[in-house]
Structure 1
């Protein structure tokens, strides 16, 4: 299969890597999206580069033009999901813990809606490689940060204290994470509406007032 390479001009004075294309229609971003869809459908471990290329109608060289390995595709996809979640924590710092808990939950739902395939992939990794273990470490750190916020809200008396903070966090994000099983962008409810619904159902059972 013939391959072509189109290089966009790099803006003067910037060290931005030119956009690269393998097969027309598959730049790095669209190739990543397509690969993640295949991983979610067939399983990451079960999908070789050869199988991925065959599914996408590409040569392996076209994939390697954008990514050095299958592992790099995985790392990029997981990083997108985790960067979004960690960004929510960073953006909500400095506000009262109960308000921050609400903002984190809403932000997490929006991240999931915006990066549904990558978040789905993140929730399915099991630590079978170093990349997966690093991703799981970051996910655990996120969960621990949310648990600390729940604990602070309990100390303030705004969230009931008869539920262990770590259990509450698992239950809250069990609800958020379950959205990958049924939520589809473009449906009757947008991400903001979904975030409001999750917040209402999740926190009304924890609030003391």
Structure 2
């Protein structure tokens, strides 16, 4: 989130107003997205308008549109962040577990469990992003935003299926249930995120996670 604003000077001789630094190129764009994500962290809040966002940033609505063509494009910026962060971490998990578990029959199961663990921890640390992920923040927004999140979870499920399939091949076991198990894991993750959002961020998605994954993957 943006750094805290400087506090006014208590020196009575300090009569000059502090000079407000002009944001560097690209910095204001990041500030807008950070502020939008912060506003989304208010559970049960009203639909965020560009007027409210501009007021929070202490700028005009016209200033917002110099950086984003529409509010939908702002949400797309958040979705870009979610996709890039999550799938970058997914790739790290897959590569790390392949090296650590070379030759082991349960490497695919470990990969899948760690991917789900990473996803729910990401949502837990970024509640505003969690609202975007489950579509709660996208109600009444452009339909393509929800379609992108649907594609995100489709890609996640495909990744889980590949992990489980590769692990099954390594262990010379049938791979037919990889798709079913991946679908169940994906639905489990979505359900945890939805419960987190609907509870006003009180029911943490990581609650009893290890035991739950053991039941699903054991």
Match of 2:181? 165
Cα shift at 1:51 = 5.2
Match of 2:130? 119
Match of 1:142? 156
Cα shift at 1:151 = 4.5
Match of 2:7? none
Cα shift at 1:184 = 5.1
TM-score (norm 2): 0.62
Match of 1:62? 63
1:97-130 deviation digits (Å, cap 9, x = unpaired): 1221122122112321333212311211479433
Counterpart Cα distance in 1 of 2:187 and 2:26: 44
Per the alignment, do residues 152 and 169 of structure 1 end up closer, same or farther by CA in structure 2, a change over 3 Å counting?
farther
Q: Which runs of 5+ in 2 are unaligned?
A: 1-19, 99-106
Counterpart Cα distance in 2 of 1:42 and 1:166: 35
Match of 2:85? 84
97, 108, 112: which one aligns with 1:101: 112
Cα shift at 1:66 = 3.5
Match of 1:205? 215
- How many residue pairs match? The answer is 179
Match of 1:13? none
1:144-179 deviation digits (Å, cap 9, x = unpaired): 22233345556646xxx6993244224431354233
Tell me if 1:129 matches 2:143: yes
Counterpart Cα distance in 2 of 1:162 and 1:6: 53
CA root-mean-square deviation = 3.8
Match of 1:110? 121
Secondary structure at the residue paired with 2:216? coil
Cα shift at 1:134 = 3.1
Counterpart Cα distance in 1 of 2:34 and 2:108: 35
27, 40, 43: which one aligns with 1:19: 27
Q: Which runs of 5+ in 1 are unaligned?
A: 9-16, 21-27
Cα shift at 1:131 = 4.2
Match of 1:179? 196
Match of 1:53? 54
